[in-house]
Amino acid sequence: MSIDSREGIRSAARVVVKVGSSSISGANAGRIAPLVDAIAAAHARGCEVVLVSSGAIATGMPYLQLDARPTDLATQQAAASVGQNLLIFRYQDSLDRYDIVAGQVLLTAGDLENATPRSNARRAMDRLLDLRILPIVNENDTVATHEIRFGDNDRLAALVAQLLDADVLVLLSDVDALYTRPPQEPGAEPLVDVAYGDELEGFVFGSVGAAGVGTGGASTKVSAARLAAEGGTAVLVTSTALVDQALNGAPVGTFFAPAPADPAPADPAPADPMTALS
């Protein structure tokens, strides 16, 4: 299904939703419930939803008595190991209200770069969706190294959208849309629609998340949106607070149009019977 406008999101058959660490951890852990409400509503109307959720490291930090995101890999891995378990528990606890079961999917960059694990990941998630299970995807921080990381979960979400041939990718953050420059700066204007192939020349996008616990910013969302759009997936960038409106096709956020579908090959002209007899 090709989605070429926000209004089409409500009728999408398969949607990938990505939420960042700052939106669902620490003081914002309570936002998991309304996020689940929106996903459950889409699930109830038959949409297949995949959730890509950051937050394992941020969720684990308090249990390691850490006040700031660790900079060394071993401590990041330890925090992720503790936090991933708690993060999935919080999602499942909220999903229980709708009798929806979550399935955990942890990936490394190598899993999606190599044919065999890539095929296995696709098969597993397709089966989870067939069974009406909600796949919750995150980077496997406990085993990933600096050399084999996705870099940020916006990119992971775009790759998952490509892997699953998703109709729509919804990238959530703390900001309601992408802006022509950092939104706190004078003259910043929201971007409403981005045509496929628009290079967005002259615009300035920040590269660091505002809350300090995530790794992505506006620039990573632009890159991820372009990657997904190239594969034929429409993209909406908006805030976690607006996820329900986003999944219902409301006029919110920044919409990236997907690459046009390749036209179906024309049927060959019927053979001239006289030619065939000659």
Give the residue numbers of the binding site for ATP.
18, 173-174
Handedness of CA 101, 142, 108, 225 (dihedral sign): positive
**What is the number of other CB atoms lying within 10 angstroms of the CB of residue 5?**
12
CA of residue 87 relative to chain centroid, distance: 17
184, with CB counted inside 10 A (0-12, 13-18, 19+), is exposed
Q: Which segments are annotated as binding site?
A: 18, 54, 141, 153, 173-174
Q: By the 8 A CB rule, do 17 and 27 touch? A: no
Binding-site residue ranges for substrate: 54, 141, 153
Cβ atoms of residues 85 and 104 within 8 Å: no
| 60 Cβ neighbours under 8 A, 6+ residues apart | 78, 79, 80, 81, 82, 83, 84, 86
Torsion sign over Cα 55, 57, 62, 66: negative
Any idea what the Cα angle at residue 46 is, between residues 13 and 243, rounded to 5°?
A: 75
Distance (Å, whole) CA 185 – CA 125: 41
**Using an 8 Å Cβ cutoff, are 169 and 18 in contact?**
yes
Whole-angstrom distance, CA of residue 130 vs CA of residue 127: 5
What lies within 8 Å, CB to CB, of 185 at 6+ separation is none
- Both structure tokens of 274: 């006289």
